[in-house]
Amino acid sequence: MKKIIDYRKLLGVSKTTELQELKTIYRNLMKEWHPDKFQDDDAKKQEAEEKSKQVIEAYHFLVSIAPETIEAALPQYTETISASMILDFSYTKTTLLLTFHDGSSYEYFEVPKALYIKLVNSDSPGRFCRRHIYHEFVYRKVSKAVVA
């Protein structure tokens, strides 16, 4: 959640901000921090480049976990988690990355380490995830499924 909170704070949005409003805020921030505005001052231009990279990253991340995005992708997500087996999984800090046989990957945020350890020790990772991961944590798609 820290990453999500930091990105929301950077853009000045709340949990309930809708996609259209998020897009407007993003565009206004990019107008304010676009490096081309600071052609005469190298220090300001460098600062603007860094700030604009942060704004772009935050915007794309928040769009990927927005309720509207999740709802639009729900049929595909449901198909992936029910029809495709887990190929691999990894855990970094509090983020669980699941890769499926169909080629798609999803990140789940704020997964406790104890739960990850239980996943590692489970006999059936797919069954464990259906019960404890899939619908319990904020997630986003990080790679597209391979079309056969």
Structure tokens at 74: 């729900």
pLDDT at position 141 over 50: yes
pLDDT grade, residue 39 (50/70/90)? confident
- Exposure string of 97-125, with b = 16+ CB inside 10 Å and e = fewer, is bbbbebebbbbbbebeeebbeebeeeeeb
pLDDT digits (tens, 9 = 90+) for 64-121: 999 999 999 999 999 999 999 999 999 999 999 999 999 999 999 999 999 999 999 9
C-alpha closest to that of 10 among 49, 58, 44: 58
Mean pLDDT (the chain) is 92
What CA–CA distance (Å, rounded) separates 3 from 10? Answer: 11
Structure tokens at 119: 């996943």
Side-chain half-sphere exposure of 8, counting CA atoms within 13 A? 14
pLDDT digits (tens, 9 = 90+) for 28-38: 999 999 988 88
